[in-house]
Structure 1
Amino acid sequence: MTRSLVLWVWMGLAGLGPVQASERPDWQVLERNVLAQPGPAAQVLRAWAVRLPVGSEEHDAIQALMGSAQLRLGDDVGLSHTLDTLRHGGQLAQALGDCLQGERLYVQGDAEQAERWLKRAMAGWPDAALRTAIPRLRCVEWLARVKTERHQFIEAANLYRRAIGDGKTLSLWRQSLLLSGLAQTLLYVGQWEQAQRLNTEAAGLLDQMPDALAQSEVSRVESLLYAMVPNRADEDRSLQAMEDAVSQARLADVVAQEVKTLAELAGKHVQRGDVVRGQQLAAQALELAQRERAPYLIDLAQGYLGLSLVVMNRQDEGLRLMQGVLDRLQSAGRLTPMLELLKQQAWALERVKAPELALRAHRQAQALAAEMTLNEQQAQLLALQAELDAAQIEHDRRELEAQRQLNAQALQGRQLQVRVWSAGLVILLLLLPLMWRWYARSRAAQRALAVITSQLQHQSLTDALTGLPNRRHWHQHVAHQPQASGGLCLIDLDFFKHINDRHGHAVGDEVLVAVAQRLQALLPPPHTVVRWGGEEFLIRIVDTDAERMRVWVTRLLDVLSRKPVLTQAGPLHITGSLGWGVFPVAPHGVEVPWDTALAWVDALMYHAKQQGRHRAWGLWSSQSTDVDAIAAGVNDPGRTPVAEGLRLVEQRGPGAVQ
């Protein structure tokens, strides 16, 4: 009540008379009111629109903020009118209109189209117009949010840094929001310490100028930090921080922030086993999001509500709800929340003991993560190549300019007397060393470019931790041979998550390196050992059959468990679960593509884990030549195989229990 009264008094003062020379809109106050009280804020903005000269930069910016208020009020007619007015204005008005359209598409859940409009806005923004004011920074910040959701973290971080640099004169609460946004983006790429430092800096600013909205975002990022502390996640403090974020969001009266924090708090309660509380919080978030008429918030709340329903054994209802959200996220290009929801879905299905569905969700998450990582690497390579190309172009331009000047001097020299010819010759001799230096630098730059290109290509094909070929290397390796051939084996280290949780990721990395060394020692070229991802290794053995492959698998089980791995936490006993097969499938030589062969050995490896770990299951032979029938038997070894004559074999590691 007090906040609303103050706002209405301020509105009354804002509407008094024409603007004086010393009066200008306080953009931060206006933006803050749009977020918390869009209805009264719209009245204030209308008062400013009347007082400011039509066509001025401030008038155009007021119109854009008016559009943001109309978006939050659900005033589609008013918003369309505002967009049409801006698009028929000058260059700044058009850029503000494009930015508002991008904000509108983001709220509607379409991140891909939002990115297009926001980039267009930034490209069309006049250089001298409102550079450090809130209207421009809001556009940069919206684009950074969209980049984060589209898994373009490097570009998002650069945009946040740009906004922080341009916003040094902003109020402390506004700077705090930008710092927390950058902290969350860096957290996605594993830069935990830098993210913590930035969020601590954001919290320090609020000690000087308290603000509920900024404090809510600081607490929300703090909750994410506690949940992702390397080697020692603190779920209790993470839960408390998220509850503080919800309280501050309610105090700030910003519905979007309240929905976001409520939904994430619901997920934390579900993961801690308090499913009923999680379902209640998710339902509250969904009710608020629907009242706000913001599809991107509705998707967030529905995703966590579906998660709670799955864990409450309302599996069909929960999965249907989550699948609808996943489909909309994929269609809109919102890859980051899509990946997070797939991971949550896999966890929930494992929790309710639905292994086949959990495996499918896990595979979808793995495939999406691999695709996004590859796209991110390609984007980095293209950016680096663009920088090098720009440097080369600039060098060539300078060289051509120098050559042009030299030619002009030579032409002028031919028209002068003998003394001028002598002077020209002296100038030419003086320029020759400079030209030689330019040439030497050009050659050095080309050599450096070749070295960097070679290094980047090697890095993109090699796992940085173990030095083994990675998944991309494997796909290039088999690209020329569409049908699977030879022995194929997929290994997953048993209880590896327990090692990470108990001893830390540094010890887990030592285990992965030691296992990689053992596998390489056992299987030198022409065999292939690949770091497939996480604690999984893929092996291809050439020139083998089922009998010899079984011997290889026995040796693999033995080499993994024969002696402990020596780590900084002491010796650790390691075992693995294996799935294998020899292709084409004997005795009729059934050929399948590599993707199918990988799916079969993955299913057999998963079955080995279900049967007690420290063992292997393999596809020995099939009397049937029906690929679908073989797949049915491989994917469910516990029942009578659909393919008559399908032979699957089990091998237990040394000391494995029945």
Structure 2
Amino acid sequence: MNRHCSFGRVRRWAPLVLSALLGLLPLAPANAAPPSKAWQQLEAVERRQRADPAPLAEQLRGLEPRLAVDSAERLEARTLLGLLAAQDGDLAQVTTIVKWLQDWPLDELQPSAQVAAACVWAEYQRRRGDLREARKALSKVSVVQREGALPLQRWRYHRQASFTALDAGALELAQSEAQLALKLAEQLAHPWRVALSLADMAELARRLRQDERGRLWISRALSAAESDPDPITLYEVHTGRALVYSEDSAIALQSYSQALQLATEAGAARLRALALANLSDYHLRHGKPSVALDLAQQSLALVGPGDDPGTANLARFNIGLAKVLMGRLSEGRALAKAAVQAELQHGALATAAEDWLELARYLERMQDLPGAAEAYREGLKLAQPLRREQLQRRLLEAQERFDADRRDRDLELLARDKALKAAQISQRNLQLGLWALIGGCVLVSAALVVQALRRARNANARLAVRNAALKQQSESDSLTGLSNRRHFQAVMRQQGPELQGSLFLIDIDHFKRINDSYGHAGGDQVLIELARRLRHQMRDDDLVVRWGGEEFLVYARTTEPLLARALAQRLLDVVGRTPVVYESLHITTSASIGFVSLPLAPHGLRLPWERAIDLVDTVMYLAKVHGRNRAYGLERMLATDPLQAAELAARLEGAWQAGDVTLVTLEGPKLGSQAGTPAPPPAPQPHQPHQPPKEDGHALAQ
């Protein structure tokens, strides 16, 4: 696929990985043999397949009779014909080619033929917008077939699997598939394939909010594309670059414009339609609805009926948003909602969640509060399970790192014990030797032994001090001096299986904007200063943890909800009341906070610390989606065990409205609201009108 033709919002193509692949990738093995003329022709067709489907299909039909029957080249030619037919929505041709591939004789190429058949059918289903059928086609390929296929077929398979998993919100699966595709691209030694896979990795990093890593990947993708340039590959990479640099308006606009120019030069009407839709989205986010409307309408005019549902749906959604911003609320809202419903019907859950939340922000900006409330509820209903999956994955990764560190420490202690025993044996041997000495040597030897023992005691004392320092370093955050996750986990293990106390998860609002505006040194100063303020608010036996990135976790020993509420208000105030001073600049900050006290009323609910963090993260996310600079506290939940609690957390806002949970809301100092009163359940409009965020980023990405 290509990312830019998925049925989901094209500007959010596929999500991931990354630590194992950060090294520079070689583009070709040193001993790679030059491809045959037939393979060169087939590769040239594939590189342009998105630009000129019809003439390329004719070229393949002319080439195919000259290729040996049952050869790898013949298999590749028929596969490319199937992919081109899928782009054109030619069901009869696709069905014929898929059957031809499935009937491939039983030989060494049969696994490749089966994988190719699945990819062709999945491409057709994805082009017509049916992501569920596309995933089903790919899932029918067995592990034996996939591993026995040629690298080229496996590369296509894993890229398609990554994109369809992303659209369904299965981020972990999408990440592993993208990794496999990247390794195969390197093995194939085709710079343009490497460029596309690197661009995939950049987008996945962006979706994981790993911005620096995403920029590194896209820089490498551009270098790979320019080493063997063609307009279609460069189009893909420049579109990806615009997404990665979406916060830098100048670079994003330049990259989108470059992509449009490349599509125009290549004569690729479909790619030009997609580039226009992406430019429309850019101008929407920068407050130019009339320009966005014109570009989206141009895009829709270039897409024929059934040609490209993904691009057409994106254009329709942007037309709806533009009309909302132009004051045509009823018309625009209906168009946008129809586009989101189309995404849901075809299984693009993650995309639909983002679109609901984006529509809610635009409606709220135009004071359509009932419409905004409905869109928020629909977006949260889809987004909360996806958010919970990401949190669980992060916790598993943290636990794996902790277990690895613990194994390393055990090995180190074992080595020390072995060395100590060897030293003791050596000392015993020395004592036996001393007894064998005669006369006047006894006193000298005794003095030497005393001196040796004194040195050993001093060395052991220094070792103990050094070990204590190392333990302190391993359980502290190097930037802020706060405790880290490892120390928090150690404290939780000492306390028993269930958490007792109050947890506060604090996320600094718009921290990426701070980094972009003041540099990473400014962002670091914000983290250091806010860490100092948070620590100053806590008692000595409470715990303040840098949980990761711009998130802090506070564990207070109190189990009293009223005290937790008062502490949450103080934390909001110390973060937002006074700007952080960096050099001669004053940086304004605020935070979104979720908190809970355990055991939880009315049934005295107790939870393991992992489940408690999962719960407080969901509450914090609700505070962020509802406007930031506020704290939401869970004070009551009609649950008697962790399973019931997880079920209510999965539909937290609905449970709040139904009265199954009680939340309180506290406003940060900027808004000046009265704090500490129980918040009413959400009504048909937002429970508390608030100013919309001043940026058009997606709530899921904050």
Which TM-score tier does this pair reach, normalised by the shorter chain? Answer: 0.5 to 0.7
Aligned pair partner of 1:73 in 88, 92, 101: 88
The answer for the alignment partner of 1:370 in structure 2 is 387
Aligned pair partner of 2:184 in 163, 181, 191: 163
Q: Secondary structure at the match of 2:327?
A: coil
Quote the offset at 1:166 in angstroms: 2.4
Matches within 5 A, 1:47-86: 47-86=62-101
Taking the aligned partners of 2:636 and 2:389, their CA distance within structure 1 comes to 34
Asked if structure 1 preserves the Cα contact closer than 8 Å seen for 2:48 and 2:232, the reply is no
CA deviation map 1:195-243 (0-9, x unaligned): 243133134325xx4x221221232123234324xxxx2x123212201
Quote the offset at 1:267 in angstroms: 0.6
Matches within 5 A, 1:205-216: 205-206=227-228, 209=229, 211-216=230-235
Asked if structure 2 preserves the Cα contact closer than 8 Å seen for 1:289 and 1:301, the reply is no
The answer for the alignment partner of 1:226 in structure 2 is 245
Amino acid at match of 2:665: L
The answer for the alignment partner of 1:262 in structure 2 is 276
Q: Provide closer, same or farther for how the CA distance between residues 66 and 506 of structure 1 changes in structure 2, counting only shifts above 3 A.
A: same
Q: Provide closer, same or farther for how the CA distance between residues 197 and 573 of structure 1 changes in structure 2, counting only shifts above 3 A.
A: closer
Aligned pair partner of 2:677 in 593, 604, 619: 619
The answer for the alignment partner of 1:390 in structure 2 is none
CA deviation map 1:59-103 (0-9, x unaligned): 333222221222222221221122122222232322321221222
Matches within 5 A, 1:435-474: none
Gaps of 5+ in 2: 1-35, 405-470, 603-634, 640-644, 691-702
Q: Provide closer, same or farther for how the CA distance between residues 603 and 27 of structure 1 changes in structure 2, counting only shifts above 3 A.
A: farther
Verify: 1:40 aligned to 2:55, yes or no.
Answer: yes
Asked if structure 2 preserves the Cα contact closer than 8 Å seen for 1:36 and 1:254, the reply is yes
CA deviation map 1:613-638 (0-9, x unaligned): 255422269xxxxxxx7655996468
Asked if structure 2 preserves the Cα contact closer than 8 Å seen for 1:346 and 1:361, the reply is no
Q: Provide closer, same or farther for how the CA distance between residues 293 and 368 of structure 1 changes in structure 2, counting only shifts above 3 A.
A: farther
Asked if structure 2 preserves the Cα contact closer than 8 Å seen for 1:101 and 1:114, the reply is yes
CA deviation map 1:457-503 (0-9, x unaligned): x99xxx99975779x99xx99xx999xx9989887767867645532
Taking the aligned partners of 1:295 and 1:496, their CA distance within structure 2 comes to 36
Asked if structure 1 preserves the Cα contact closer than 8 Å seen for 2:98 and 2:117, the reply is yes
The answer for the alignment partner of 1:249 in structure 2 is 263
Taking the aligned partners of 1:507 and 1:83, their CA distance within structure 2 comes to 57
Matches within 5 A, 1:347-496: 347-354=361-368, 357=373, 360=377, 363=380, 367=384, 370-374=387-391, 376-377=393-394
Amino acid at match of 1:214: T
The answer for the alignment partner of 2:125 in structure 1 is 105
Taking the aligned partners of 1:552 and 1:52, their CA distance within structure 2 comes to 75
Amino acid at match of 1:519: L
**Structure with larger RCO (C-alpha < 8 A, sep 6+):** 2
Equivalent pairs, count: 515
Quote the offset at 1:31 in angstroms: 2.0
Q: Provide closer, same or farther for how the CA distance between residues 86 and 567 of structure 1 changes in structure 2, counting only shifts above 3 A.
A: same
The answer for the alignment partner of 1:123 in structure 2 is 143
Verify: 1:604 aligned to 2:665, yes or no.
Answer: yes
The answer for the alignment partner of 2:250 in structure 1 is 236
Taking the aligned partners of 1:218 and 1:113, their CA distance within structure 2 comes to 28
Asked if structure 2 preserves the Cα contact closer than 8 Å seen for 1:286 and 1:302, the reply is yes
CA deviation map 1:4-24 (0-9, x unaligned): xxxxxxxxxxxxxxxxxx863
Aligned pair partner of 1:154 in 147, 159, 175: 175
Taking the aligned partners of 1:382 and 1:106, their CA distance within structure 2 comes to 37
Asked if structure 2 preserves the Cα contact closer than 8 Å seen for 1:489 and 1:580, the reply is yes
Verify: 1:314 aligned to 2:375, yes or no.
Answer: no
Q: Secondary structure at the match of 2:171?
A: coil
Amino acid at match of 2:203: Q
Q: Provide closer, same or farther for how the CA distance between residues 354 and 499 of structure 1 changes in structure 2, counting only shifts above 3 A.
A: farther
Taking the aligned partners of 2:116 and 2:524, their CA distance within structure 1 comes to 49
Aligned pair partner of 1:194 in 216, 222, 242: 216
Taking the aligned partners of 2:238 and 2:506, their CA distance within structure 1 comes to 40
The answer for the alignment partner of 1:138 in structure 2 is 156
Asked if structure 2 preserves the Cα contact closer than 8 Å seen for 1:249 and 1:258, the reply is yes
Taking the aligned partners of 1:532 and 1:634, their CA distance within structure 2 comes to 34
Q: Secondary structure at the match of 1:24?
A: helix
Amino acid at match of 1:151: L
Matches within 5 A, 1:88-103: 88-90=103-105, 91=110, 92-103=112-123
Asked if structure 2 preserves the Cα contact closer than 8 Å seen for 1:564 and 1:572, the reply is yes
The answer for the alignment partner of 2:42 in structure 1 is 27
Q: Provide closer, same or farther for how the CA distance between residues 141 and 256 of structure 1 changes in structure 2, counting only shifts above 3 A.
A: farther
Taking the aligned partners of 1:567 and 1:252, their CA distance within structure 2 comes to 49
The answer for the alignment partner of 1:444 in structure 2 is none
Q: Secondary structure at the match of 2:388?
A: helix
Quote the offset at 1:182 in angstroms: 3.8
Asked if structure 2 preserves the Cα contact closer than 8 Å seen for 1:601 and 1:618, the reply is no
The answer for the alignment partner of 1:204 in structure 2 is 226
Taking the aligned partners of 2:92 and 2:256, their CA distance within structure 1 comes to 37
Gaps of 5+ in 1: 1-21, 388-454, 622-628, 640-658
Deviates most, 113-122 or 263-272 = 113-122
Quote the offset at 1:270 in angstroms: 0.9
Q: Provide closer, same or farther for how the CA distance between residues 75 and 572 of structure 1 changes in structure 2, counting only shifts above 3 A.
A: closer
Asked if structure 1 preserves the Cα contact closer than 8 Å seen for 2:162 and 2:175, the reply is no
Asked if structure 1 preserves the Cα contact closer than 8 Å seen for 2:186 and 2:194, the reply is no
The answer for the alignment partner of 1:180 in structure 2 is 199
Asked if structure 2 preserves the Cα contact closer than 8 Å seen for 1:494 and 1:577, the reply is yes
Q: Secondary structure at the match of 1:617?
A: coil
Q: Secondary structure at the match of 1:618?
A: coil
Taking the aligned partners of 1:199 and 1:111, their CA distance within structure 2 comes to 27
Asked if structure 2 preserves the Cα contact closer than 8 Å seen for 1:213 and 1:248, the reply is yes
Q: What TM-score do you get using the length of structure 2 for normalisation?
A: 0.59
Deviates most, 565-574 or 105-114 = 565-574
Taking the aligned partners of 2:165 and 2:115, their CA distance within structure 1 comes to 19
